[in-house]
Amino acid sequence: MAEVADGPARVVLTASVARRYYLDGRSKVEIAEEFGLSRFKVARLLDAARASGLVRIEIRHQGEIDVDLSARLQDRFGLQHSVVVDTPDDDADSLRGHLGRAAARLLAEIITPQDVLGLAWARAVSAMARALPPLPGTPVVQLTGALSLPDGPGTSVDVVREVASASGGAAHVFYAPFTVPDAATARALRGQPEVARAFAQLPLVTKAVAGVGLWKPGQSTLYDALSEDDRTALHRLGVCADVSGVFLSADGEAITTELSERMIGIDAEQMRAIPEVVVIPYGASKSPAVRAALRSGLVDGIVTHTALAHAVLEE
Amino acid sequence: MAEVADGPARVVLTASVARRYYLDGRSKVEIAEEFGLSRFKVARLLDAARASGLVRIEIRHQGEIDVDLSARLQDRFGLQHSVVVDTPDDDADSLRGHLGRAAARLLAEIITPQDVLGLAWARAVSAMARALPPLPGTPVVQLTGALSLPDGPGTSVDVVREVASASGGAAHVFYAPFTVPDAATARALRGQPEVARAFAQLPLVTKAVAGVGLWKPGQSTLYDALSEDDRTALHRLGVCADVSGVFLSADGEAITTELSERMIGIDAEQMRAIPEVVVIPYGASKSPAVRAALRSGLVDGIVTHTALAHAVLEE
DNA sequence: ACCGTGCTCGCTCATATGAGCAGAGGCAGT
DNA sequence: ACTGCCTCTGCTCATATGAGCGAGCACGGT
């Protein structure tokens, strides 16, 4: 990287050539003619200019997206889309707001009129829904039952209806809780026409948005909603993360549990069948869960913030 | 120059593509295959990346040479070589030292064993000579007679001998003053074998170094050495600059004066015949003289400092 | 519904470009 | 001087690249 160790005439010539090439966009042949050199000489001067650091190329985005981290996440986990928002936010609420807006922009960008949108319930998904511009007649499908959250801004049903009505598309919703006390009740609920109709739409979903929880207190809405018995039972089975009700081990294997029988929502196989599932995790402590989700192969896109992205990439 | 106004997915894609192209040096075809795009799409993304400022290319030299100013001077006046030293120096002595070293490096770079070097007398030329590494057997020719300068570091003769002995080349010198009181004396001196022999070498000179004076008190060693009558006479003739004894009007026309008959040194025509004449002017106030010199067509190269270069370029 | 209008995309073909090679000096060691 | 080694240069030829074109598509006006 040492500066050109040549004489001043060569330095000036190199700089002039580099200017013509990189800034004025002339071709090497043109430059060669202008300076009376062979085009090979010009190419070598340009190589030298870059090798010596005389020409410096930098890629940087002055918006709130950290393109470098985004690309690294995308490469590392083979994702279709990755958006890392550069925000120092520590507060969960404003973080959700930021990520929600970013996810809304991403979704608006990648969705087409042919797409069918699936929405799981998560607070970040709610935040996204609020920031989402009207989509062109996109049908919206509810992926999970409702979790009762006293201070929540809306249930899974509300979010789906909201997005569908703004888009003018069909809303495939059902009224049922996410978890029930026993498998029989769950089977009965799934048998109900409304629920069955909604579930019948699942194979048609082409894009979905979900949240990610870490299987620890305060790191997963589902964890916090379950009984102590359920929590520890799943913990013993090696559950590390939940992606809107789909349980994963630390290395991303889907884990089927007795609890799965008692839930009304999408399962791992159905989720895997969706071409693009985007998750919106936040909080650096969730990194094990995010790693699990990204390794699972269920997830194709991510919207998150720098701190968590860094944590995920540092193996 | 506004940042990419597109969605985040496109921004990230563009940045990834730009990184692969500009930093990893992959071809557009390779990138297209890697990302599943057409090579045209890749080209358009790259264009957009540059237009939007996501990719920034800058050319800058962290040595003491201002490559941009150098190139502008070179372009503007059609010079073969131009070196602008970036120094805030105001002190004439240290400025001369800097420029002398830069000129020495330039000369060492561009001189070949076939060259014959001509040296005019100027303090900056002395400074250069002191910094000059041994040249490979280059003959050195004295271009001007001696100016008596009480505190000077050496006469024109000394400088030529010094350079020639370091190079191991022949020294073509003569002992004569630069100006004499009348034309007859000058003719007599020119007729002397020693002087005639030196002058016979002039057509062989291929590279020469000279100084530039502005025709005002304290801005030209020659001006300061002349009588009041000569000064004003030349001033009335429109003399603006002297290039080691060759007088120029403000727009660079060579001016022949009665004084020319009384000088022992190179004339305009002989100087024009030298393929490469390099001057080493300094001091921002000299800019009219430098402009005249550069416009005259007598001068092919320049070594100077930023302040003067700026002054010269500002019309 | 119908037709421009403007946009994006990927094609063709002429041109620009890079990899690798061979010849021409320069240099140090016999 | 000769030799081998090294660097620098410009060549050939396969490949990459850009300019310009027309097809496809969304949008907005009548």
Q: Which domains does chain B possess?
A: 8-51 (1.10.10), 67-313 (3.40.50.1360)
Could you give the count of Cα atoms lying within 13 Å of A126 in the half-sphere of its Cβ? Answer: 17
* Mode of pairing for the β-strands spanning B213-214 and A213-214: unpaired
Interface test with A, best of B23, B58, B59 (most A CBs within 10 A): B59
Interface test with B, best of A1, A57, A62 (most B CBs within 10 A): A57
Q: Is the CB of B273 under 7 A from strand D?
A: no
Taking each helix axis from N to C end, the angle separating B39-51 and B8-18, rounded to the nearest 10 degrees, works out to 100
**Does the pLDDT of residue B150 top 70, yes or no?**
no
Residue B204: pLDDT band (50, 70, 90) is: very high
**Does the pLDDT of residue B154 top 80, yes or no?**
no
Give yes or no for A6 touching B (CB within 8 A).
yes
Q: How many other C-beta atoms lie within 10 A of the C-beta of residue A25?
A: 10
Q: Which residue has 């010539």 as its token pair?
A: A13
Q: Which residue of B has its CA nearest to A103?
A: B8
Give yes or no for B52 touching A (CB within 8 A).
no
What 3 state SS string does B61-127 have? Answer: CCCCECHHHHHHHHHHHCCCEEEEECCCCCCHHHHHHHHHHHHHHHHHHHCCCCCCEEECCCHHHHH
Mean pLDDT of A117-132: 92
Mean pLDDT of B137-157: 76
Write the single-letter amino acid at B102: A
**Does the pLDDT of residue B199 top 80, yes or no?**
yes
Q: Is the CB of B44 under 7 A from strand C?
A: yes
Q: How many other C-beta atoms lie within 10 A of the C-beta of residue B125?
A: 28
pLDDT on residue B269: 94
Q: Please give the backbone phi and psi of residue B232, each rounded to the nearest 5 degrees, phi first.
A: -70, -35
* Mode of pairing for the β-strands spanning A117-119 and B117-119: unpaired
Among A158, A173, A92, A162, residue whose Cα is nearest residue A133: A162
Write the single-letter amino acid at A160: V
pLDDT on residue A3: 47
Å between A137 CA and D30 C1'?
A: 26
Q: Is the CB of A28 under 7 A from strand C?
A: yes
CA distance A153 to chain B (A): 26
Give yes or no for B35 touching A (CB within 8 A).
no
Q: How many other C-beta atoms lie within 10 A of the C-beta of residue A151?
A: 5
- Calculate the CA dihedral of residues A135, A138, A139, A140 and round it to 10 degrees: -40
Q: Which residue of B has its CA nearest to A16?
A: B71
Q: Which nucleotide is nearest to B26 (CA to C1')?
A: D16
Å between B129 CA and C3 C1'?
A: 80
Residue B136: pLDDT band (50, 70, 90) is: confident
Specify the DSSP element, H or E, that contains B309: helix B306-313
Q: Which nucleotide is nearest to A28 (CA to C1')?
A: C16
Rounded Cα gap, residues A300 and A77, in angstroms = 9
Q: Which residues of chain A make contact with B22, given a CB cutoff of 8 A?
A: 57, 59
Helices (H) and strands (E) in chain B, counts: 14, 11
Write out which nucleotides of chain D lie closer than 7 A to a protein Cβ: 9-12, 15-20, 26
Q: For the segment B247-305, what is each residue's pLDDT rounded down to a tens digit?
A: 999 999 999 999 989 999 999 999 999 999 999 999 999 999 999 999 999 999 999 99
Q: Which residue has 């807006």 as its token pair?
A: A101
Token reading at B309: 């270069």
Q: Is the CB of A41 under 7 A from strand D?
A: yes
Mean pLDDT of B134-149: 84
Residues A15/A49, Cβ–Cβ less than 8 Å? yes
Q: How many other C-beta atoms lie within 10 A of the C-beta of residue B238?
A: 14
Residues A254/A298, Cβ–Cβ less than 8 Å? yes
Q: How many other C-beta atoms lie within 10 A of the C-beta of residue A233?
A: 15
Residue B9 to residue A58, Cβ atoms within 8 A: no
pLDDT on residue B133: 86
